[in-house]
């Protein structure tokens, strides 16, 4: 296997499609610095699956796309193809059969990376798996670039171990081990989940078992309850039926009693009607006597009212006359008192009027003095206002100046405080602690981005695996569905053929079937079921045997002679062909085409076979008596006869159907097994898919957490950067504010000096006005004293005048009131005198004669009322006698009616009870019918000693037992069976998983053994190779590999080197050139053990001198017989050793181009 060519398009500086062919095993790539030589090695590493932009000398994976130059625009995608010659078949797997394998990778600007193998899209894992064990890979020992030498030599022992593992080809073992561990983990997870399910199911089963037992017990108790309930209903029906018959007898007796009471009631009604007529006449006579009595009474009452009225009128006039005399005396007395009081009030009023006139004159004089004092006050106020207006300006100016001085001093103090705070803040901001945190966060962001990219690749890989698993699962489901459909089709076909076969065998005849059943022959086989005919001859055998195919096979025909008389109708064939080997048959006999457990030679004797009708006709003349010939299509020929059996339809004959039924039975059995196996595989795939889904979800969760962490780090970084920028902005703001404060302080100090001068000038002017202010204040006191004295005198005179005016006004009012009262009393006296005269005139009239006449009329009316009352009492007595008789008759009728009503109510009650009993009887019968029973059946099955009370107690006990069972789950029985089946299935799965886990553990142990063995063997070979090659590249000395631990699965590898003339030391103490030579020796010793298809060297000879370059070049030349070398060099000695030189130029800025030179052809041309 060797690298045949590299095709680049848009990759880094190779913007144009470029093909780099490698025709020899020694290819040197030369060119000036920066022309893009190393991009070829980056291309190989990138295609083989490198996922870190750092190893491709970039910041992001899209940096490998040509990003434009001064003359070209950027491109949208790039691709690289590696063409491998696999004619030796070193690649394994499905690509081992290809002589040429092309690996391609393509990436676009949006970050979409795609891999192809021989033009088929694939995963990155498929590419890395392709090179497992070959020594190739994105970071294998076969690619040594700039800086790779130092990383190889200075690698930690654990990192150096990777190169030994790759050389040992155990990377695929580690991959297998990792996959096996994953499978073990998934199996263990499935086992744990299954264990949880089984434990939960065991708990459910225990619970369901109790519920199922309770449900069974509940069913038994319910059955007993139904039986007892039905019998109790029958007993209740008997009781109700007896009560019903008793009620019918009571109804007859009550009807007789009711009729007798109704006859007595009708007789009382007739007597009452006759007496009511007599009662009407008596009532009319009583009403007339009563009316006369009431009329006389009314006349007496009216006469008595007249007498009473006349007596009351005389008494009323006497009282009114006495009242009028008394009121007249009181009014005369009151009039005299008012006249005396009026004279007193007039005298007082006349005495107050002269005093009022004197007070009014004194008040006028006091008012004039008050006006003069007020005028003096106004004059002083004007003088004071003029003074204060003139003297307030200096005071105001002094106050204003003082206030401004205080404000300025406070402002200076605030500025000084602000300056101190700003200086403190400025001192705090001199050191920005965010810068170190920003640097740390930037590093964390870079690491987290790499981690997120790796997780994203893991998620993509798991997603691809999950998609493949889902596709495989869907294929498995489809396959299972197809198998089930095929199984169902076979079952349908089997059912159809069985029906046809049953009809053909005569199983439809009822009389024959009954005869066979009665003689226990129905299960005996038919002859057609025991014949096995060679394919193609079924119709021939069926034609010859005909109805004998339906024959029932017996061991002996002798007993049949006694049975045949019982067969009244139908066709029957019996065969007693003996069990054993059949006699040998000639190849031309039909018997040779038939195999059977029984001897059927007697049925096929003399029948020969021919391949077609023509052959049969040709042999017809050779037939002896009793011989015949039959063809495969069923044409049967004798010497002088021919018989053809043609059937409609496509179901074939009886024998063909029998063979097809047998084949179907075998196929159905196989399909059943296949379906069961497919279901098990489907369950296993589903478990595996759930495990893959869980892995993907875990990976996605990790990716999401990593993304969130990256976002959080970026957010913190942005916040820190923003705060750092705020620090700088704030420092500049503080400096600017401090400068402004200094300027403002200087201005405030100048303003303060000016204000202090203004305040001193204002205070001097205030001192000059102090004397004049004191004189004005003394004058104000004198004016205010005079004003207060004048106001006091004027107020006294005014108050006294007001009091006299009020007194005078009161006297005038009293005088007017007394005059009005005197006039009113005079009028009242006149009225009272007139009333007294009127009463005296009324009393003088004679009322005695009228009163005597009225009393005589009253006595006469009283005598008339006595006569009317006697007559009314006589009529009442007669009426009461009739009423008494009427009440007696009505009582008799009421008693009869009452008794009839009681009997009727009793009758209705008995009828209702009877009806209720009948309804209850019918209801019990209907309840029994609903239970699927009849009254007659229950009565017959019921014990004779059955008692309703005892049965009721039994039902109560059964109900209590059911009640004690509690809540019943009737579905628990079926559910318990279902869950038990599931438990058994899960137990089987658990056993399978445990067995699989044990198998995987055994595989792990086997892989570990093989890994240890191959690693130790490889380590020893590489160590030997290193000890052999080291002296060659150094011209002497010694080097070896050492293990850092005892565990061959995890131990690290260290290099110990001793160049010529130096003591043994670790590789880290060597010079750069010595390290490079040691690395070359190590790589070449690995090549000797497990040569990689090619080796790429990127200026590894740069630190070497010419002598060492020569040794290095000769070693490469010697190994090129087995290994393809592609190296980049600037050294002329190394260039001379190359069989092919590839020149990389950059004539156009930023664009690499390739020039190839075959050194041998060039040498021949020179020669």
Q: How far is CA 486 from the centre of its chain?
A: 41
The pair phi, psi for residue 1125, each rounded to 5°, is -110, 130
The pair phi, psi for residue 681, each rounded to 5°, is -60, -40
Length of the chain (residues)? 1167
**pLDDT score for 8:** 93
**DSSP secondary structure letters along 14-51:** B-S-EEEE--SSEEEEE--TTSSTHHHHHHHHHHTT--
Residue 967 has pLDDT above 70, yes or no: no
Q: What is the DSSP letter of 1036?
A: S
Q: Is the dihedral of CA 563, 564, 565, 566 positive or negative?
A: positive
**pLDDT score for 506:** 57
**pLDDT score for 580:** 47
Asked if 247 and 914 touch (Cβ cutoff 8 Å), the reply is yes
pLDDT category of residue 308 using cuts at 50, 70 and 90:
confident
Q: Is the dihedral of CA 89, 90, 92, 95 positive or negative?
A: negative
Tell me whether residue 1131 is annotated as binding: no
Separation between Cα atoms, residue 447 and residue 643, nearest integer Å:
96
User: Is 592 within the bounds of a domain?
Assistant: no
Residue 140 has pLDDT above 70, yes or no: yes
Residue 354, helix vs strand vs coil:
helix
How far does the chain reach from its first CA to its final CA, in angstroms? Answer: 33
**DSSP secondary structure letters along 81-139:** EEEEE-TT--S-GGGTT-SEEEEEEEEETT--EEEEETTEEE-HHHHHHHTTTTT-STT
Q: Which residue has the higher pLDDT, 567 or 142?
A: 142
Separation between Cα atoms, residue 1 and residue 1094, nearest integer Å:
8
Per-residue pLDDT, averaged over 434-443, amounts to 74
Poorest-pLDDT segment among 311-315, 781-785, 836-840: 311-315
Q: Which residues contact 346 (CB under 8 A, 6 or more apart)?
A: 815
- Domain span including residue 1114: 1-142+1096-1167
Give the burial class of 1098: count Cβ atoms within 10 A of its Cβ; 0-12 exposed, 13-18 middle, 19 or more buried. buried
Encode pLDDT of 896-925 as tens digits: 778 878 888 888 788 778 877 887 778 778
**pLDDT score for 403:** 78
Per-residue pLDDT, averaged over 352-361, amounts to 74
**pLDDT score for 847:** 52
Q: Which tokens in the block code for residue 757?
A: 């001068």
**pLDDT score for 102:** 94
Q: Which residues contact 967 (CB under 8 A, 6 or more apart)?
A: none
Q: Tell me which residue has tokens 């002088």.
A: 640
**pLDDT score for 525:** 72
Separation between Cα atoms, residue 47 and residue 694, nearest integer Å:
31
Asked if 1087 and 1081 touch (Cβ cutoff 8 Å), the reply is no
User: Is 1091 within the bounds of a domain?
Assistant: no
Q: What is the DSSP letter of 569?
A: S
Encode pLDDT of 12-48 as tens digits: 999 899 999 998 889 999 998 888 888 888 899 899 8
Residue 1081 has pLDDT above 70, yes or no: yes
Separation between Cα atoms, residue 846 and residue 856, nearest integer Å:
18
Question: What residues does 114 pair with on adjacent strands?
Answer: 106
Q: What is the DSSP letter of 70?
A: S
Separation between Cα atoms, residue 349 and residue 562, nearest integer Å:
177
Residue 945 has pLDDT above 70, yes or no: yes
pLDDT category of residue 412 using cuts at 50, 70 and 90:
confident
Question: What residues does 1143 pair with on adjacent strands?
Answer: 30, 1155
- Domain with residue 89: its CATH number is 3.40.50.300
User: Is 559 within the bounds of a domain?
Assistant: no
Q: Tell me which residue has tokens 């409609």.
A: 648
**Segment of 234-238, 332-336, 492-496, 1070-1074 carrying the highest mean pLDDT:** 234-238
Task: Give the largest CA-CA distance in the chain.
Answer: 203
**pLDDT score for 433:** 64
Torsion angle of C-alpha atoms 971, 976, 981, 985, degrees rounded to 10: 120
User: Average pLDDT of the chain?
Assistant: 78
Number of domains in the chain: 1
Encode pLDDT of 206-230 as tens digits: 877 777 777 788 778 878 777 777 8
Residue 644 has pLDDT above 90, yes or no: no
Other Cβ atoms less than 10 A from the Cβ of 1066: the count is 12
User: Is 738 within the bounds of a domain?
Assistant: no
pLDDT category of residue 649 using cuts at 50, 70 and 90:
very low
**pLDDT score for 391:** 66
Residues above pLDDT 70, as percent of the chain: 85
**pLDDT score for 271:** 77
Residue 721 has pLDDT above 90, yes or no: no
User: Is 1134 within the bounds of a domain?
Assistant: yes
**pLDDT score for 1068:** 67
Q: Is the dihedral of CA 747, 749, 750, 754 positive or negative?
A: positive
Q: Which residue has the higher pLDDT, 1163 or 250?
A: 250
Question: What residues does 1154 pair with on adjacent strands?
Answer: 1144
Which strands sit side by side in the sheet containing 1053-1058, from one edge to the other? Answer: 1038-1043, 1053-1058, 1065-1066
Tell me whether residue 33 is annotated as binding: yes
Of 159, 156, 41, 151, nearest to 1079 by C-alpha is: 151
Tell me whether residue 229 is annotated as binding: no
Q: Which residue has the higher pLDDT, 436 or 619?
A: 619
Tell me whether residue 652 is annotated as binding: no
Tell me whether residue 36 is annotated as binding: yes
Question: What residues does 117 pair with on adjacent strands?
Answer: 103, 120
Poorest-pLDDT segment among 355-359, 546-550, 871-875: 546-550
pLDDT category of residue 650 using cuts at 50, 70 and 90:
very low
Give the burial class of 882: count Cβ atoms within 10 A of its Cβ; 0-12 exposed, 13-18 middle, 19 or more buried. middle
Tell me whether residue 34 is annotated as binding: yes
Q: Which tokens in the block code for residue 1026?
A: 């290193």
Q: Is the dihedral of CA 403, 404, 407, 413 positive or negative?
A: negative
Poorest-pLDDT segment among 91-105, 122-136, 559-573: 559-573
Residue 984, helix vs strand vs coil:
helix
Residue 579 has pLDDT above 60, yes or no: no
Tell me whether residue 38 is annotated as binding: yes
**Segment of 66-75, 579-588, 875-884, 1154-1163 carrying the highest mean pLDDT:** 66-75
Per-residue pLDDT, averaged over 393-400, amounts to 72
Q: What is the DSSP letter of 78?
A: E
Other Cβ atoms less than 10 A from the Cβ of 941: the count is 12
Q: Which tokens in the block code for residue 171?
A: 């990377």
Of 933, 914, 896, nearest to 251 by C-alpha is: 914
Per-residue pLDDT, averaged over 194-202, amounts to 79
Residue 275 has pLDDT above 80, yes or no: no
User: Is 1142 within the bounds of a domain?
Assistant: yes
Kindly state the helix (H) or strand (E) to which residue 1039 belongs, with its residue range.
strand 1038-1043
Residue 633 has pLDDT above 70, yes or no: yes
Asked if 72 and 1151 touch (Cβ cutoff 8 Å), the reply is yes
User: Is 1082 within the bounds of a domain?
Assistant: no
**pLDDT score for 398:** 74
Residue 577 has pLDDT above 60, yes or no: no
Of 713, 287, 685, 170, nearest to 465 by C-alpha is: 685
**pLDDT score for 522:** 66
Residue 882 has pLDDT above 70, yes or no: yes
**pLDDT score for 27:** 92
Tell me whether residue 99 is annotated as binding: no
Q: How far is CA 391 from the centre of its chain?
A: 89
User: Is 682 within the bounds of a domain?
Assistant: no
Encode pLDDT of 35-86 as tens digits: 888 888 889 989 988 877 777 777 777 888 998 888 888 898 999 999 998 8
Q: Which tokens in the block code for residue 183?
A: 């499978």
Separation between Cα atoms, residue 494 and residue 140, nearest integer Å:
64
Encode pLDDT of 674-711 as tens digits: 877 777 777 777 778 777 777 878 887 788 788 778 77
**pLDDT score for 418:** 81
């Amino acid at each position: 296997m060797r690298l045949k060519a590299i095709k680049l398009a848009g990759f880094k500086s190779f913007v144009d499609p470029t093909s780099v062919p490698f025709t020899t095993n020694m290819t040197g790539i030369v060119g000036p610095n920066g022309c893009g030589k190393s991009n070829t090695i980056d291309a190989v590493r990138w295609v083989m699956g490198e996922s870190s932009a750092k190893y491709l000398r970039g910041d992001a994976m899209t940096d490998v796309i040509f990003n434009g130059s001064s003359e070209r625009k950027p491109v949208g995608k790039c691709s690289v193809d590696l063409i491998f010659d696999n004619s030796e078949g070193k690649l394994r797997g499905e690509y081992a059969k290809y002589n040429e394998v092309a690996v391609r990778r393509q990436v676009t600007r949006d970050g979409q990376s795609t891999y192809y193998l021989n033009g088929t899209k694939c995963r990155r894992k498929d590419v890395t798996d392709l090179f497992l064990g070959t020594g190739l890979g994105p970071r294998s020992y076969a690619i040594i670039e700039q800086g790779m030498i130092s990383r190889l030599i200075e690698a930690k022992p654990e990192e150096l171990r990777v190169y030994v593992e790759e050389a040992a080809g155990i990377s695929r073992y580690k991959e297998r081990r990792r996959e096996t561990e994953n499978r073990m983990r998934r199996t263990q997870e499935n086992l744990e989940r299954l264990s949880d399910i089984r434990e939960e199911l065991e708990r459910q089963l225990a619970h369901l078992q109790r519920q199922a037992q309770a449900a069974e017990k509940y069913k038994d108790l319910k059955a007993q309850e139904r039986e007892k309930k039905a019998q109790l209903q029958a007993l209740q029906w008997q009781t109700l039926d007896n009560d019903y018959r008793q009620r019918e007898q009571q109804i007859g007796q009550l009807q007789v009693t009711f009729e007798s009471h109704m006859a007595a009631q009708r007789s009382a009604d007739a007597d009452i009607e006759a007496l009511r007529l007599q009662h009407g006449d008596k009532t009319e006579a009583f009403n007339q006597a009563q009316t006369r009595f009431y009329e006389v009474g009314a006349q007496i009452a009216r006469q008595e009212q007249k007498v009473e009225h006349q007596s009351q009128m005389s008494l009323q006039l006497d009282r009114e006359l006495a009242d009028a005399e008394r009121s007249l005396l009181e009014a005369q007395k009151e009039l005299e008192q008012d006249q005396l009081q009026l004279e007193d009030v007039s005298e007082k009023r006349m005495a107050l009027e002269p005093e009022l006139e004197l007070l009014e004159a004194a008040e006028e004089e006091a008012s004039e003095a008050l006006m003069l004092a007020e005028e003096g006050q106004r004059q002083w106020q004007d003088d004071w206002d003029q003074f204060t207006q003139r003297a307030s300006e200096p005071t105001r100016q002094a106050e204003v100046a003082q206030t401004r001085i205080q404000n300025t001093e406070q402002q200076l103090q605030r500025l000084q405080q602000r300056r101190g705070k700003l200086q403190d803040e400025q001192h705090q901001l001199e050191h920005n602690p965010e810068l170190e945190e920003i640097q740390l966060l930037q590093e964390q962001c870079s690491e987290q981005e790499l981690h997120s990219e790796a997780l994203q690749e893991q998620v993509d890989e798991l997603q691809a695996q999950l998609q493949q698993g889902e596709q495989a699962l869907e294929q498995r489901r489809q396959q299972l569905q197809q198998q089930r459909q095929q199984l169902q089709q076979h079952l349908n076909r089997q059912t159809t053929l069985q029906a046809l076969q049953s009809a053909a065998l005569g199983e439809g005849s009822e009389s024959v079937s009954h005869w066979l059943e009665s003689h226990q022959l129905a299960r005996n086989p038919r002859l057609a079921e025991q014949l096995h005919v060679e394919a193609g001859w079924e119709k021939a055998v069926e034609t010859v045997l005909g109805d004998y195919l339906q024959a029932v096979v017996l061991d002996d025909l002798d007993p049949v002679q006694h049975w045949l008389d019982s067969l009244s109708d139908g066709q029957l064939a019996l065969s007693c062909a003996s069990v054993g080997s059949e006699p040998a048959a000639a190849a031309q006999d039909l018997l040779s085409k038939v195999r059977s457990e029984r001897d059927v030679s007697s049925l096929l004797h003399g029948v020969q076979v021919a391949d077609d009708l023509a052959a049969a006709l040709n042999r017809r003349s050779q037939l002896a008596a009793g011989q015949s010939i039959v063809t495969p299509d069923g044409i049967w020929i004798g010497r002088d006869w021919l018989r053809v059996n043609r059937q409609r339809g496509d179901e074939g004959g009886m024998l063909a159907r029998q063979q097809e039924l047998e084949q179907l039975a075998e196929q159905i059995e196989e399909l059943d097994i296949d379906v069961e196996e497919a279901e098990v595989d489907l369950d296993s795939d589903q478990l595996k898919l759930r495990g893959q889904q869980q892995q993907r979800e875990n990976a996605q969760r990790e990716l999401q957490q990593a993304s969130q962490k990256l976002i959080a780090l970026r957010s913190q970084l942005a916040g820190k950067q923003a705060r750092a920028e705020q620090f700088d902005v704030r420092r500049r703001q503080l400096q600017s504010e401090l400068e402004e404060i200094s300027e403002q302080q200087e201005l405030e100090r100048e303003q303060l000096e000016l204000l202090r001068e203004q305040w001193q000038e204002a205070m001097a002017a205030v001192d000059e006005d102090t004397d004049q202010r004191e004189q004005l204040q003394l004058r104000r006191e004198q004016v205010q004293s005079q004003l207060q004295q004048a106001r006091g005198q004027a107020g006294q005179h005014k108050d006294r005048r007001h009091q006299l005016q009020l007194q005078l006004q009161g006297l005038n009012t009293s005088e007017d009131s007394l005059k009005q009262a005197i006039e009113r009393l005079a009028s009242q006296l006149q009225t009272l005198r007139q009333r007294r005269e009127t009463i005296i005139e009324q009393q003088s009239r004679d009322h005695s004669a009228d009163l005597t006449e009225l009393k005589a009329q009253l006595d006469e009316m009283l005598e008339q009322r006595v006569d009317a009352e006697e007559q009314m009492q006589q009529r009442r007595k007669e009426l009461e006698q009739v009423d008494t008789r009427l009440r007696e008759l009505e009582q008799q009728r009421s008693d009869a009616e009452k008794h009839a009503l009681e009997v009727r109510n009793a009758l209705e009650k008995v009828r209702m009870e009877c009806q209720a009993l009948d309804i209850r009887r019918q209801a019990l019968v209907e309840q029994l019918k609903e239970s699927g029973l009849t009254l007659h059946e229950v009565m017959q099955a019921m014990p004779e000693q059955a008692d309703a009370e005892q049965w009721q107690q039994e039902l109560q006990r059964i109900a209590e037992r059911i009640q004690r069972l509690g809540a019943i789950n009737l579905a628990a029985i079926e559910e318990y069976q279902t869950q038990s089946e599931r438990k058994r299935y899960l137990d089987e799965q658990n056993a399978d998983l445990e067995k699989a886990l044990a198998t995987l553990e055994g595989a792990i142990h086997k892989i570990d053994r093989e890994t240890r063995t191959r690693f130790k063997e490889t380590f020893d070979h590489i160590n030997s190779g290193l000890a052999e090659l080291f002296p060659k590249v150094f011209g002497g000395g010694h080097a070896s590999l050492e293990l850092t631990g005892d565990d061959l699965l995890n131990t690290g590898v260290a290099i110990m080197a001793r160049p010529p003339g130096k003591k043994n030391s670790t590789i880290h103490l060597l010079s750069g050139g010595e390290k490079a030579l040691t690395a070359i020796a190590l790589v070449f010793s690995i090549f000797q053990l497990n040569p990689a298809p090619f080796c790429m060297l990127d200026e590894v000879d740069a630190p070497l001198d010419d002598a060492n370059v020569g040794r290095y070049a000769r070693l490469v030349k010697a190994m090129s017989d087995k290994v393809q070398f592609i190296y980049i060099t600037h050294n002329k000695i190394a260039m001379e050793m190359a069989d092919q030189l590839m020149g990389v130029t950059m004539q156009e800025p930023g664009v690499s181009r390739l020039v190839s030179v075959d050194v041998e052809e060039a040498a021949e041309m020179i020669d």
